[in-house]
């Protein structure tokens, strides 16, 4: 079976690191490129972190691109309070040695979608949607060539994590999210409703450490750092591993359950800016534009993640 071609768009972020490692460890996927975007931390750090993660995975030949350093319209909001100053706080990190591509990430996305056969490339955004929206706005012809977008972002029953109404990725660039959610592209959304069900419990973190590999050690130490914010805020028994749910969906969609519904983005009211208005009960009559995922087999997710990370 030919491997599925994907482009990852990311703002590492410890949970982004898990997603990138999972993708690079999985032969079912061909990672055409990884695009860094400003989000959890500023762009110079997200692109540097992306290269660190690729080298940790033993894949220094991965093509890494730097993208947009701020949202389409709004000022950048970052999340050092969650991810630390480097964005990958926890373990000591080596300086990356692999090169950064010279092409802008937005142009890489456009050129790749124009070059590859139509409907053969899946976009996997793990951060604010700025790069994706910028590509769609600059080259509308590529929108219809996208196979699928599987993204981490949004919230409905779980409500917001950066404001009472909004999840971070959507909140940082609601205008970009509006472009993507209105694009008509086949869309799968991994909101907090599902990512808050995949928590790094002690047993799961010790399974990372028990690998006895550098990847396992880094994964455990990232989880140890990353969980303190959610444990204090929610009293949960670990941190939600948001972003690897996107890659796990590509590998084992049967782990997840959701509903095809209409989802629109708040882009005007400051009170609810970036809210994903998910019509879960079908009361608006607006056409469905997304598979909004609400539940997951968490043990199955961690079994997949742990088995794959152990391959690196």
Instruction: Work out which of 84, 96, 127, 274 binds Ca ion, going by CB under 5 A.
Output: 127
User: β-strands 4-10, 121-125: how paired?
Assistant: parallel
Q: Which residue in the set 158, 167, 221, 224 belongs to the binding site for ligand RIB (CB under 6 A)?
A: 167
CA neighbours within 13 Å on the CB side: how many for 243? 25
Footprint (CB under 6 A) of ligand RIB, residues 173-232: none
Interface with Ca ion, residue 128, by CB under 5 A = no
Considering the rule CB under 6 A, would residue 40 count as an interface residue with ligand RIB? yes
Instruction: Supply the minimum distance, in Å, between the C-beta of residue 148 and ligand RIB.
Output: 18
Query: Comparing C-alpha atoms, which of 128, 83, 138 is closest to residue 108?
Result: 138
Contact 124, 9 (CB under 8 A): yes
Task: Give which of ligand RIB, Ca ion, none residue 167 binds (C-beta under 5 to 8 Å, depending on kind).
Answer: ligand RIB
The interface mask with Ca ion, positions 225-244, x = CB under 5 A, is ------------------x-
Cβ-based neighbour number of residue 280 at 10 Å: 15
**Catalytic residue flag (residue 242):** yes
Q: Does 274 bind ligand RIB (CB under 6 A)?
A: no
| C-beta of 11 vs 227, nearer to ligand RIB | 11
Evaluate whether 277 touches 263 at the Cβ level (below 8 Å): yes
Q: Work out what residue 168 binds among Ca ion, ligand RIB, none; the CB cut-off runs from 5 to 8 Å by kind.
A: ligand RIB
Task: Check binding of 169 to ligand RIB (CB under 6 A).
Answer: yes
Helix and strand totals (H; E) in the chain: 12, 10
In the complex with ligand RIB, which residue's Cβ is closer, 152 or 187? 152
Helix axes 298-309, 14-24, angle to 10 degrees: 70
Cβ proximity to ligand RIB, 76 vs 288, nearer residue: 76
Would you count residue 16 as binding Ca ion (CB under 5 A)?
yes
Q: Which of 21, 29, 123, 126 binds Ca ion (CB under 5 A)?
A: 126
Does 87 participate in binding Ca ion (rule CB under 5 A)? no
Tell me the window of 13-21, 41-49, 85-93, 139-147 that interacts with ligand RIB (CB under 6 A).
13-21
CA separation (Å) from 91 to 94, 117, 223, 226? Answer: 10, 41, 10, 11
Q: Which residue is it, tokens 């598979």? A: 291
Q: Which of 244, 265, 229, 29 minimizes the C-alpha distance to 129?
A: 265
In the list 7, 9, 13, 312, the residue contacting Ca ion (rule: CB under 5 A) is 13
Work out which of 219, 242, 279, 293 binds ligand RIB, going by CB under 6 A: 242
Of the candidates 83, 104, 242, 260, the residue annotated as catalytic is 242
- 251-271 b/e with 16+ CB inside 10 Å = b? beeebbebeebbbbbbbeeee
**H-only helix segments in 12-142:** 14-24, 43-56, 80-83, 105-115, 130-138
- 167 is a site residue for Ca ion (CB under 5 A): no
Catalytic residues: 242
Where do contacts with ligand RIB occur on this chain (CB under 6 A)? Answer: 11, 13, 15-16, 39-40, 126-127, 152, 161, 167-169, 242-243
């Amino acid at each position: 079976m030919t491997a599925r071609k994907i482009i990852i768009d990311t703002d590492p972020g410890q949970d982004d690191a898990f997603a990138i490692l999972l993708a690079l460890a999985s032969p079912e996927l061909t990672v055409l490129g990884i695009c860094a975007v400003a989000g959890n931390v500023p762009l110079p750090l997200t692109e540097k972190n992306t290269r660190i993660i690729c080298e940790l995975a033993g894949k220094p030949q991965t093509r890494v691109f730097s993208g947009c350093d701020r949202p389409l319209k709004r000022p950048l909001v970052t999340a050092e309070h969650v991810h630390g100053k480097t964005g990958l706080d926890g373990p000591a990190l080596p300086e990356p040695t692999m090169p950064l591509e010279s092409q802008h990430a937005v142009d890489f996305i456009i050129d790749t979608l124009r070059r590859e056969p139509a409907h053969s490339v899946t976009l996997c955004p793990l951060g604010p949607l700025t790069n994706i929206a910028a590509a769609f706005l600059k080259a509308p012809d590529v929108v219809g060539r996208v196979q699928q977008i599987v993204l981490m972002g949004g919230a409905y029953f779980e409500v917001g994590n950066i404001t009472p109404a909004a999840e971070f990725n959507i909140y940082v660039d609601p205008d970009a999210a509006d472009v993507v959610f209105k694009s008509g592209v086949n869309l799968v959304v991994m909101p907090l409703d599902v990512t808050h069900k995949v928590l790094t419990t002690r047993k799961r973190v010790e399974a990372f450490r028990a690998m006895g590999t550098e990847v396992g050690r880094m994964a455990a130490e990232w989880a140890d750092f990353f969980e303190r914010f959610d444990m204090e805020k929610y009293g949960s028994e670990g941190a939600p591993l948001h972003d690897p749910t996107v890659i796990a969906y590509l590998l084992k969609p049967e782990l997840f359950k959701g509903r095809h519904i209409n989802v629109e983005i708040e882009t005007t009211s400051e009170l609810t800016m970036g809210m994903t208005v998910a019509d879960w009960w079908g009361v608006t009559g607006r056409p469905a534009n997304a598979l909004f995922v609400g539940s997951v087999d968490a043990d199955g997710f961690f079994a997949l993640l742990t088995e794959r990370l152990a391959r690196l």
